[in-house]
Structure 1
């Protein structure tokens, strides 16, 4: 029997009914697709488990030195562009947010004490909670990253060899560590901050403070209050999976190509004695690392579990390999002398040979843009976002072998409006 009222138009009604079901399905699809991008209503929500997954779009990343933080900055910048967010960028011709000075809100371009809050902050700064809170929204998620000080100090030594007096006047990293006070002058802390407890300094504390148990415990508790999550560079892929889960982001939001890395021939081999000396010379950083390395793995066990972590890390690496095959000519990083497009040349420092990438020549425009952003060095990306976000401001003069508009033309990027 036909449906009442549709005797003469049965087929037409059936089509309308089918279209209605299709519309309902599409509305449900878009609702599901966009459910991750609801901003939390309060700071407290960030710490309360919820059955509904809400992507965090107000995020502050404390970028520490020589800890794979440039790779995370690239992830953050791509997230800004993907979801049309605002980012707190260095004012004027600054390339850092006032570093090594303790951060002030005025270091952010167009900051106003009343009104402007940014979604993302991720450039280098020396942490100052009260001033950062002036710039960021009340429900901002705070995270940072640490690295084993043994590897971190060796990396700093090579990278800052020409600019840090304590490094410059010593022959190599092992000679420096054999007698650091022969080269290091605490009074010259602004020049020598990279030579001792640099991560402690980045979090806003005195890197020359005495190793006092009560003092260290007080600082660790304060960092735990200020930061919701501390990642570990030595377990970078695991860190990205934990970050993805914690922020409720997609896998492609945390996918990466390693940036600001150096060639193996510039790595100095530490003696066993030097490794032990770093634990003493940088004891504040060492205890900082040990504490948050433990909390990192505890957080994984409580939220993801080791079996699920392993599965997701493998998935991330497969996706990374797929993108490298799609994007990269050599499918690996190359030395500065082999980078063909000088617009993609990373900033070079000290005795390090900072690696970069060459893109394949057969990419369509959409894929080219995606691949370019994944390999874009820190300074170039910051300068580009600055020009887009502040089109009426004078563009950054980076001292690189490229300037706007040549950079814009070489990268085939849209012109700032």
Structure 2
């Protein structure tokens, strides 16, 4: 007789509970580790951008925060030494007034494998570390690109500090005291020598860009600033302001500018590209190689842009002027007061009826390819620079826009109502200051009259 053993049952319910508890513990430990690593990364970032931040103290704070956690979790942070976190640099002893580029590069090389641990400082933060404002500026003043408004910022900055400007002789081939040259870069023959015992500090008058020429006459630590404008808008502004004879005298009919765009080569001036106001004028003034105006080469254009991209600290985008000057303030370590502005040299009674035919914008885009290359390149670069700054940049920009409106409204008041200056309190981005009658006069001064004042103070005569 066979006796059947009783059926064995597996205790699934207790097993499920134990598995659930194990998963729950693993999940909790994972969250804790992620939190600790995030805190460590933040500490690393703080140490890079803030020399006063003490890593050891930060680790101590982390230890306090996890005192109630299991011992094996504590060891993640408690065992970390300063020399393990930053093996090749002592950030507590860094010089607040200067960044040593060689040490930064060495530190980056030695910690190449720890890219996720070490945050990269922004361009503005690296420049900001020296705490001293930049006073040596070469501004490429491009025709009809909101450059007079930008130039006024540099004129005021230099005037208040009695800096030395690069000026042409009062009587020059261009016929205007605010123009150095419409056909070439700086030379010994088209600029005045600096006064005895001084050197040039600021260049902001019209002249073509050439890196070697700019470097020959400007101090070694000069920062290059440029400006660009959306090409078709610049084209229309040039037509309205200069009214080129090769378009408006040679072409008959109601829409000469539109007809010009259908066959530009038929009407463009012969000879060098600098003879033209409409053949990618920005590229002409940025010194693009002459052969690119004869035959467009995308690769060669991009190569030249990469070159000047390294040479210019930043380029102002006319359509994003406020964004640009706030970024410039950070890069040059200036005060908010230094970048205030009112719009200058804006053409009145614009008549753009010559450009009302369909597809003009498309025709110009196909014709002025170099200008579109420039604009797109520096537009993308400005957006990248701004993204690096984070939310604080947006906060400053909003505050600056509001402040600029207040200043513009104040400066528009009658003189009697400006007797009491407009007081601006200190902010995170600038010291306290006041705007009075003199500041309003400087911001609204025409460039020729302003440069004449500078010429008289710098050389003792308006006729030199």
Give the TM-score normalised by structure 2.
Answer: 0.64
Matched, 1:80 2:158: yes
Partner of 2:7: none
Indicate the residue corresponding to 1:91 in structure 2: 169
Alignment-derived partner of residue 392 in structure 2: 308
1:173–1:270 CA contact under 8 A, matched in 2: no
Partner of 1:402: none
Seen in structure 2, the aligned counterparts of structure 1 residues 372 and 43 have a Cα distance that, compared at 3 Å, is farther
In 2, distance between residues paired with 1:42 and 1:61?
26
Between the two proteins, the alignment pairs up a number of residues equal to 324
- 1:328 is displaced (CA, Å) by 1.1
Equivalent-residue separation in structure 2 for 1:243 and 1:231 (angstroms): 8
CA contact (8 A) 1:99 1:126 kept: yes
Partners of 1:167 and 1:281 lie apart in 2 by 19
- The CA deviation string for residues 49-86 of structure 1, in whole angstroms up to 9 with x for no partner, is 45343311111111111111100110000001222211
| Residues 360, 177 of structure 1: alpha-carbon distance in 2 compared, 3 angstrom cutoff | farther
Q: Does 1:62 align with 2:140?
A: yes
Residue range with higher mean Cα deviation, 248-257 or 216-225: 216-225
The 3 A distance-change label for structure 1 pair 313 and 364 is: same
Q: Is the 8 Å Cα contact of residues 142 and 229 (structure 1) preserved in structure 2? A: yes
| 8 A Cα contact 2:260 2:267, kept in partner | yes
Q: Does 1:165 align with 2:246?
A: yes
1:181 to partner: Cα distance: 2.5
Aligned partners of 1:43 and 1:140 also within 8 Å: no
Does the residue aligned with 1:92 lie in a helix, a strand or coil?
Answer: coil
Over 3 Å counting, the alpha-carbon distance change for 1:128 and 1:65 in structure 2 is same
Q: Which digits, 9 at most, give the CA deviation of each residue in 1:164-198, with x for residues without a partner?
A: 42344344432322332232133274442x11111
Matches within 5 A, 1:136-151: 136-151=218-233
Q: Secondary structure in 2 aligned to 1:187?
A: coil
C-alpha distance in 2 between matches for 1:42 and 1:183: 54
Pick aligned residue for 1:274 from 360, 367, 377: 360
- Decide which of 170, 180, 185 is 2:269's aligned counterpart: 185
**Runs of 5+ in structure 2 lacking a partner?**
1-95, 105-122, 422-435
What are structure 1's unaligned runs of at least 5 residues?
Answer: 1-37, 330-358, 397-417
Q: Which residue of 2 aligns with 1:371?
A: 440
Q: Deviations over 1:91-150 (max 9, x none)?
A: 2323211222333143221259x9752111110001122222222111011110111101
CA shift at 1:361, angstroms?
Answer: 4.9
Aligned to 1:345: none
Cα shift readout 1:395-416 (whole Å, capped 9, x = no counterpart): 27xxxxxxxxxxxxxxxxxxxx
CA RMSD of aligned residues (A): 2.9
Shift of 1:314: 2.2
Q: State the partner residue of 1:125.
A: 207
In structure 2, C-alpha distance between the alignment counterparts of 1:228 and 1:179, rounded to whole Å: 37
- Which string of whole-angstrom CA distances, capped at 9 and with x for unpartnered residues, describes residues 374-405 of structure 1? 111111111111111110x4527xxxxxxxxx
How far apart in 2 are the matches of 1:125 and 1:142?
Answer: 13
CA distance in 1, matches of 2:300, 2:274: 22
Distance 1:364 1:65 in 2: 36
Q: Give me the whole-angstrom Cα distance separating, in 2, the residues matched to 1:243 and 1:282.
A: 28
Post-superposition CA distance 1:253-272 (Å, at most 9, x none): 11100001123543445545
**Quick one: structure 1 residues 103 and 43, their matched pair in 2 at CA, closer, same or farther if it must change by over 3 Å?**
farther
Structure 1 equivalent of residue 279 of structure 2 = 196
Question: Counterpart of 1:195 in 2: which secondary structure?
Answer: coil
| Pairing partner for 1:260 from 313, 334, 345 | 345
1:283 is the counterpart of 2:361: no
Q: Is the 8 A contact 1:98 1:104 kept in 2?
A: no
Shift of 1:286: 0.8
